[in-house]
């Protein structure tokens, strides 16, 4: 009886470890894809950051804050 209980729990733990390893492999692939995309499109990335920076500046300005005073 105890052997069966131990076997069930061991299998459950083993499955979780395998699932974790698979998830890690997927995450690693996603990260590599992201790095490749960044390397391929630096100008696009720069444009996105510039757009975001502009929107943040506009938000600050609309709240009465001069964004130029916040940057060194």
CA-to-CA dists, residue 12 to 6, 9, 17, 22, 72, angstroms: 10, 5, 9, 15, 54
- pTM of the shown model: 0.43
pLDDT digits (tens, 9 = 90+) for 23-70: 888 888 888 887 887 777 777 778 888 888 899 999 999 989 998 888
Q: Where are the domains of the chain?
A: 1-40, 42-72
For 6-28, give one letter per residue: b (16+ CB within 10 A) or e.
Answer: eeeeeeeeeeeeeeeeeeeeeee
Average pLDDT of the residues in 7-16: 80
Residue 57 burial (C-beta neighbours within 10 Å; 0-12, 13-18, 19+)? middle
């Amino acid at each position: 009886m105890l052997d069966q209980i131990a076997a069930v729990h061991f299998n459950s733990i083993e499955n979780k470890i395998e699932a974790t390893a698979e998830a890690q492999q997927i995450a690693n692939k996603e990260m590599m894809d992201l790095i490749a995309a960044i390397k391929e499109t630096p100008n696009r990335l720069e444009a996105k950051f510039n757009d975001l920076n502009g929107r943040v500046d506009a938000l600050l300005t609309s709240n009465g804050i001069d964004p130029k005073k916040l940057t060194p």
